[in-house]
Structure formats: C-alpha cells, structure tokens
Amino acid sequence: MDFEFVGSISEIEPIAVSASIREIGRLRRLYGTGRWRRMKGRAVVRVISGRIRVAEIHWYEAHGVGREEFKIKQYLDG
C-alpha cells in the first residue's frame, strides 16, 4: 500500500460477491477459500507525500481471511 489509514472506513458496501469477482481464482490461490467479496468505502488516508486526503477505497475480504489488497480508486476531496 502506498498510503496509511488515518481513521476508520465508512460507508462500506459490497461491489461483487464470489463468482462475480473476476479474480476469484487468484484470491483463493493466494489467501485461501472463503466467501470473497469486493468492497468499497470512504476513508481518510495519509499518502506517501504526507498529505491527508479523503479517498474511495476498494478491497477484497473473506470471512476467516480478513481484508486484503486495499487500493485508492479516487480522491473525494477535490
């Protein structure tokens, strides 16, 4: 990750579940089986430059595995 969370993630919602995730095979191979979901939410993050921004974050999560592969999709603070 090229950023760190300053606060918690809010406005969490699923984007895709199990078979509708394009990379389901890779996720199961790397992290194990589980009910994988692709999620999105908003968070305050600190980027590499030290600047604090509000961003839309996407990640994958599964019960028993946890949250994996966070990435910033877009900045929401202009």
Segment 30-69, tens digit of pLDDT: 999 999 999 999 999 999 999 999 999 999 999 999 999 9
Please name the residue ranges forming H helices in the chain: 24-31
Let me know: does 46 contact 21? Beta carbons within 8 Å: no
What is the 8-class DSSP label of residue 32? -
Domain of residue 49 covers 3-75
Structure confidence at residue 77 (pLDDT)? 87
Written as six digits, the tokens of 58 are 């996407």
Residue 51 makes CB contacts below 8 A (sequence gap 6+) with none
Structure confidence at residue 2 (pLDDT)? 87
Number of domains forming the structure of the chain? 1
